[in-house]
């Protein structure tokens, strides 16, 4: 049996054409026409008059957002606890402390009520406001962005929207990645579209994006020789990778359709049982369904047993993200919430969700899950 991967890259012919163009014109470096074009095409896809800087990863984008917001040693930054470590590692890079906030049951993302409590409590405890809020749109599901942007405005704390998993999703008609002072995207190999590795920083503030491009190319002052008055980073996306990204962006909406159709298939074939619970879209919310996640409520079938049963048939699945406040490396960071993320981690599983999955393979996955109990 061929292996079914969780979320493999899905590349077409257009990508090859753009990459060949990069080779033919010898633009192989982290400069070149594909980068500018990719940035413009991303900005026009996202709408809302945003500006975009193409970078080497989503993690780099969060790092630069924190630097540009002036987050420093001794500051605190609030972050969703139910996420991948790439969301919060950059908080440590700048010497700040993450404060983790748990999930709300309808989106599994940052709970606005707990967020407000956490802000008030940190101000009371430390005498100063958290310097930023990082809200994550996990698995492509939009967070409660109306309430969260309102809290960010009320307390005047900048918001970073980690839409690494949410490209192609929207909240009340507005694309994810465009909320907050900064949005970030990832084009890592397992994301909905990929540049093999890469990311982007998004903002309505053109100066912020100009600054990000400057910092991402080693912070060179305007001079013929190399002069630096600031510390820079090597975070720019290469022209070759941007070529892949241009091709991928053209098929993004199709990829979203395919991922959503995976989700529909799983719900149709497993979801009628109260034994498999899927996360529904609240009104006005459109998820790219990057990964289909399921909570397993079957007597005698743990998510780990289900995972092993699938692995036995050469099918890759994965536990939900282990919350950050349970990670040994963050064990000393403050945490707020009712531990919903721990429950999700214990009961959930990510099912194969690649955009090239066909009905034969989806059927194989469902049959395997059903025979596991
Ligand atoms: C992938 C991911 C990141 C980091 O993106 P990279 O491009 O891999 O650095 C950050 N946050 C979330 C939620 C992610 O899934």
Nearest to 85 by CA among 329, 293, 291: 329
Q: Which atom of ligand 1 is nearest to the CA of 61?
A: 9
Q: Is 137 in the pocket of ligand 1 (CB under 6 A)?
A: no
Residue 273 is predicted with a pLDDT of 63
Residue 90 is predicted with a pLDDT of 98
Please report which confidence band the pLDDT of residue 67 belongs to, taking 50, 70 and 90 as the band edges: very high
Residue 300 is predicted with a pLDDT of 86
Q: Is 84 in the pocket of ligand 1 (CB under 6 A)?
A: yes
Please report which confidence band the pLDDT of residue 32 belongs to, taking 50, 70 and 90 as the band edges: confident
CA of 81 to the centre of ligand 1 (A): 14
Please report which confidence band the pLDDT of residue 31 belongs to, taking 50, 70 and 90 as the band edges: confident
Whose Cα sits closest to atom 11 in ligand 1? 87
Residue 302 is predicted with a pLDDT of 94
Its pTM stands at 0.96
Lowest-confidence region among 166-175, 270-279, 340-349, 363-372: 270-279
Q: Is 58 in the pocket of ligand 1 (CB under 6 A)?
A: yes
Q: Is 185 in the pocket of ligand 1 (CB under 6 A)?
A: no
* % the chain with pLDDT above 70: 99
Half-sphere exposure of 227 (CA within 13 A, CB side): 6
pLDDT tens digits for 249-274?
A: 999 999 999 999 999 999 999 986 68
DSSP lists the bridge partners of residue 136 as: 162
CA of 84 to the centre of ligand 1 (A): 7
SS3 assignment, position 318: strand
Residue 316 is predicted with a pLDDT of 97
* Angle at the Cα of 370 from the Cα atoms of 364 and 373, rounded to 5 degrees: 140
Whose Cα sits closest to atom 2 in ligand 1? 164
Rounded distance between C-alpha atoms, residue 63 and residue 234, angstroms: 12
Q: Is 186 in the pocket of ligand 1 (CB under 6 A)?
A: yes
Q: Is 57 in the pocket of ligand 1 (CB under 6 A)?
A: yes
> Tokens standing for 265?
């298939």
Letter string b/e over residues 209-243, b meaning 16 or more CB atoms within 10 A of that residue's CB: bebbbbbbeeeeeeeeeeeeeeeebebbbbbbbbb
pLDDT tens digits for 137-172?
A: 999 999 999 999 999 999 999 999 999 999 999 999
The terminus-to-terminus CA distance of the chain in angstroms comes to 21
Q: Is 235 in the pocket of ligand 1 (CB under 6 A)?
A: no
Is the pLDDT assigned to residue 175 strictly greater than 80?
yes
Residue 61 is predicted with a pLDDT of 98
> Strands, DSSP E only, in 113-209?
132-136, 159-162, 170-171, 174-175, 182-186, 199-203
Residues 161, 164, 169, 173, Cα dihedral to 10°: 30
Please report which confidence band the pLDDT of residue 18 belongs to, taking 50, 70 and 90 as the band edges: confident
């Amino acid at each position: 049996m061929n292996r079914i991967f969780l979320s493999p890259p899905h590349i077409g012919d257009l990508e090859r054409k753009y990459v060949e163009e990069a080779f033919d014109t010898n633009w192989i470096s982290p400069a070149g026409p594909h980068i500018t074009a990719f940035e413009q095409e991303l900005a026009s896809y996202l709408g809302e008059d945003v500006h975009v800087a193409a970078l080497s990863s989503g993690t780099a984008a969060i790092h630069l957002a924190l630097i540009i917001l002036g987050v420093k040693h001794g500051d605190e930054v609030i972050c969703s606890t139910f996420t991948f470590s790439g969301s919060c590692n950059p908080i440590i890079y700048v010497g700040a402390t993450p404060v983790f906030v748990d999930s709300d049951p309808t989106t599994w993302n940052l709970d606005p009520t707990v967020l407000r409590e956490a802000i008030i409590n940190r101000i009371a405890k430390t005498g100063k406001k958290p310097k930023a809020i990082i809200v994550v749109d996990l698995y492509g599901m939009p967070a409660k962005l109306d309430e969260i942007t309102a809290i960010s405005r009320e307390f005047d704390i900048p918001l970073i929207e980690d839409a690494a998993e949410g490209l192609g999703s929207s909240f009340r008609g507005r694309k994810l990645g465009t909320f907050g002072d900064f949005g970030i995207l990832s084009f890592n190999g397992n994301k909905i579209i990929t540049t093999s590795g890469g990311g982007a920083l998004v903002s309505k503030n053109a100066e912020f994006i100009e600054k990000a491009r400057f910092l991402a190319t080693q912070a060179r002052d305007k001079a013929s020789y190399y002069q630096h008055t600031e510390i820079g980073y090597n975070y720019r996306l290469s022209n070759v990778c941007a070529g892949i990204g241009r091709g991928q962006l053209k098929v993004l909406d199709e990829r979203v359709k395919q991922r959503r159709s995976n989700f529909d298939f799983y719900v149709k074939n497993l979801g009628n049982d109260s034994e498999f619970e899927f996360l529904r879209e609240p009104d006005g919310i459109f998820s790219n369904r990057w990964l289909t996640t399921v909570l397993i409520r079957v007597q005698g079938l743990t998510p780990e047993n289900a995972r092993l049963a699938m692995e036995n048939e050469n099918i890759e699945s994965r536990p939900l993200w282990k919350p950050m406040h349970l990670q040994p490396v963050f064990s000393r960071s403050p945490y707020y919430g009712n531990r919903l993320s721990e429950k999700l981690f214990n009961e959930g599983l990510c099912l194969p969700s690649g955009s090239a999955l066909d009905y034969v393979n989806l059927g194989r996955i469902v049959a395997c899950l059903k025979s596991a109990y």
